[in-house]
Structure 1
Amino acid sequence: MSSPCDPKYAPAGDVGAALMAIDSQLKAIYDGRTGSNSEQRKLVDQYIASMGPAGVDALVDGACTLIYMFMEWLRRMCEEHDKDLIEYTVPSLVAAMRMMPRTFRPEVIPTMAGLIVAAGTGLSPSLWRAQYGDWTDAELNPLEGTVVLLAEKINRIADDQDFATRLITEALSRTDRS
């Protein structure tokens, strides 16, 4: 039976813009800078501000697509090592969220964990979240933080600080050629 949250019904959104924002955050982390103080972060924020409501919606959908794609990569990795995807990802990500109270207020952690679980069970994170109404402003930074945490986890697994970004860039290149 097909679910209304099946990824085939979900808009992909602006994956490129979402990836740019995430890559900016990762570079700031790896360079030892705080994302909020870097010049690159300011440029990303200006770009997002110029998008307008439809552009921001596309960016949010793009971030959800990244969550789904990262969880699919993690699923394959877990299957190769006979691990349970949800058990392997959710507790460590929730623990990381709890250690960052300025980015992840306690009331948004269940939603962010739900996005990860939705993607981990083969559902579209954006369609899963849409069941509960419009995104709130309080959820937007945590959404970005969730994608950054997933990308950083993948980078650590691969022992390559650019692996998660390259993973998506290569997938987008393959899609463009099709």
Structure 2
Amino acid sequence: MSSPCDPQYAPAGDVGTALMVIDSRLKAIYDGRTEADPEQKRLTDQFTASMGAKEFHDVVDGTCTLIFMFMKWLRMAYEDHDKDVIEYVVPSLVATMRMMPKSVRPEAIPTMAGLLVAAGTGLSPSLWRKQYGDWTTGEMNPLEATAFLLAEHINRLTDDRDFATRLISKALSSSDED
């Protein structure tokens, strides 16, 4: 029986822009910067200001697609070692989010954990979240942080700082060819 949260029913959104944001954050952290580059922040703010509601929602959906794709890759990687992705990924990401009170308010953590579990069980994070109402402003930073933490987790597992970005880029390139 098909679920209404099946990824086939979910909009992919603007995965390219979502990936660009996550990749930019990863590069900043890897370069040892804890604060955003002022020029990068100005460009991001300018880009965000130019977006309408539809474009904004597309980036949110794109971020959910990233979370789904990252969790799918992690699920396959952990299953190759007879491990459960939810058992090995969700608790560490939740613990990390709890250490980020400026970016991830405590009340958003259960929603982000739910998104991870939904994606880890093969459900669309955006459709899973939609059943509980619209996204809130307070969930935007935690959503970005969740995608970032997943990408960083993948990069650490593979010992390759660009692996998560390449993983998605290759998937986007192959979908363009189809």
**How far is 1:35 from its partner?**
4.3
CA distance in 2, matches of 1:66, 1:12: 9
CA distance in 2, matches of 1:37, 1:60: 23
Structure 1 residues 168, 13: closer, same or farther in 2, change over 3 A? same
**How far is 1:163 from its partner?**
0.5
* Secondary structure of residue in 2 paired with 1:34: coil
**How far is 1:43 from its partner?**
1.7
Which portions of structure 1, spanning 4 or more consecutive aligned residues, are displaced by more than 6 angstroms? none
1:81 matched to which residue of 2? Answer: 81
Summarize the alignment of residues 59-98 of structure 1 with structure 2, pairs less than 5 Å apart. Answer: 59-98=59-98
> How big is the alpha-carbon RMSD for the aligned residues of Structure 1 and Structure 2?
1.0
Q: Normalising by structure 2, report the TM-score.
A: 0.97
Q: Normalising by structure 1, report the TM-score.
A: 0.97
**How far is 1:38 from its partner?**
4.2
Amino acid at match of 2:114: G
Structure 2 unaligned segments of length 5 or more: list them: none
CA distance in 2, matches of 1:80, 1:177: 29
CA distance in 2, matches of 1:162, 1:41: 21
C-alpha contact 1:68 1:120 (8 A) present in aligned 2? yes
Structure 1 unaligned segments of length 5 or more: list them: none
CA distance in 2, matches of 1:81, 1:41: 40
**How far is 1:51 from its partner?**
1.3
CA distance in 2, matches of 1:135, 1:159: 34
* Secondary structure of residue in 2 paired with 1:119: helix
Tell me, yes or no, if structure 1 residue 102 matches structure 2 residue 102.
Answer: yes
C-alpha contact 1:35 1:41 (8 A) present in aligned 2? no
Structure 1 residues 160, 131: closer, same or farther in 2, change over 3 A? same
